[in-house]
Structure 1
Amino acid sequence: MKSAFLTPLITECVDDLAAGGRGTWRVMAPFRYQSEILGRVIEVEAGFLTDYASVPRLPVLYLLFGDTSHKAAVIHDWLYHHHEVCDEATANRVLREASEADGIPAWRRLGIYLGVQIGGTPSWRADGPA
């Protein structure tokens, strides 16, 4: 099973000032991704809300890593809301895998992955089931 996006990502902006300036976006049609790591297809339902990637708005970091991997970020956000699918470390690996499937360069994938490894745990705890 090769990792691949199976449908296009279609979103609309719900609030462009929410989430610390990242905005909140709604998935408008089912968005499907085949993950080799998980050995399954993930389907993000229409109506799911995302802030894409939570890259700090520091100029150099945002220039290098921000606004670059929306499809992978939506999959990652969905996994962070669905702890029953996988643990945090696996969700982070799927982000890296999905970024590769989307053609993101290796150096950028590594930076994005390290960012969630370092700073993702508070979101994992906040986003998942209580």
Structure 2
Amino acid sequence: MRPIRTALLAAAALLGASILASCATETHQTVYIPVVAPTPPSSLTPQPVVLFNQTKAGRKLFTLDAEFPYCDVQTGKVIVVPRWYVTDFASVPWYGQGFIDPQGPTARAAIVHDWLYAVGEPGKREEADAIFHRAMLKYGVSPFHANIAYQAVRAGGQKGYGLPGDWWFVDPKRQDLRQPPPFPKPRSGAVRILPRCQGFGALIQSGWRAYPIKAPTVRVPPPVVVTRTPLDQVKQKLPWGADRKK
């Protein structure tokens, strides 16, 4: 009888151990990972976005959906037009605007010029006009037409230099709202100097931004921890288990 009794005790012990092992306490943790939209990169070839429901003195308005960096080789000045800046190309008098295509590459020169005029650095209007002239040539305007536009801003651009009303920002995805300026008006239109623009391309490719975009605040709920005890697991296996629907 003893061998049988010993075998039964061993079997009972083994069964008890297996039951305890199968009914060990389980802990599961769910962690929420926020998904943040990537920061739009700078664009060396921006396409102005027309604001369909806004005009200024009867003129169409355009904005940028990406930061636009430009480097003037002669001065080495790196000029960065921030995203959402609103332009109407009004820094170029009407008789010179015929050579500015808002949807073409020549508009980039006018955007840089408008930005320099909006900043309105004292004593730098002539330099802004010269940068505009060189930018037009860089972006494909013929020397003849570039000279006409340049003479136009030299003759009639004084009244549009440094106007407070040109400090204007609109998100093209929310065209009915004016956005608050992302930063106070700078004293200069240049953010840094790179002699002969050496290293400018590598700087942009590195992801550098003159005006970093503030990351939105994301509220992340705390982790959810669920612990199941052996008793909970036993209840789960019963016909009237706590988690079963009636």
Q: TM-score, normalised by structure 1?
A: 0.77
Percent identity for Structure 1 against Structure 2: 24
Corresponding residue for residue 88 of structure 1? 125
For structure 1, the residue ranges without an aligned partner over 5 or more in a row are: 1-5
Deviates more, 1:96-105 or 1:45-54: 45-54
Assess if the C-alpha contact under 8 Å between 1:64 and 1:108 holds in 2: no
Corresponding residue for residue 153 of structure 2? 116
Assess if the C-alpha contact under 8 Å between 2:50 and 2:60 holds in 1: yes
Corresponding residue for residue 163 of structure 2? 126
Quote the offset at 1:82 in angstroms. Answer: 1.9
Determine which structure has greater relative contact order: mean sequence separation of CA pairs < 8 Å that are 6+ residues apart, divided by chain length.
Answer: 2
In 2 relative to 1, CA 28–63 (structure 1 residues): closer, same or farther, beyond 3 Å? closer
For structure 2, the residue ranges without an aligned partner over 5 or more in a row are: 1-42, 167-184, 186-246
Cα deviation, 1:72-102, whole Å, max 9, x if unaligned, reads: 0000001112234971000000000100110
In the TM superposition, structure 1's runs of 4+ consecutive aligned residues that sit over 6 Å from their partners are none
Q: How does 1:12-23 map to 2 (within 5 A)?
A: 12-15=49-52, 18-23=55-60
Q: Distance in 1 between matches of 2:56 and 2:116?
A: 18
Corresponding residue for residue 107 of structure 1? 144
Match status 1:10 vs 2:44: no
Superposition RMSD on alpha carbons, in Å?
Answer: 2.7
Q: Distance in 2 between matches of 1:77 and 1:116?
A: 11
Match status 1:48 vs 2:85: yes
Quote the offset at 1:126 in angstroms. Answer: 2.1
Q: Distance in 2 between matches of 1:27 and 1:13?
A: 9
Assess if the C-alpha contact under 8 Å between 2:93 and 2:156 holds in 1: no
Q: Which has the larger helix fraction?
A: 1
In 2 relative to 1, CA 15–118 (structure 1 residues): closer, same or farther, beyond 3 Å? farther
Of structures 1 and 2, the larger Rg is shown by: 2
Match status 1:98 vs 2:135: yes
Deviates more, 1:79-88 or 1:41-50: 79-88
Match status 1:65 vs 2:62: no
Corresponding residue for residue 169 of structure 2? none
Alignment coverage as a number of residue pairs:
120
Corresponding residue for residue 3 of structure 1? none
Q: TM-score, normalised by structure 2?
A: 0.43
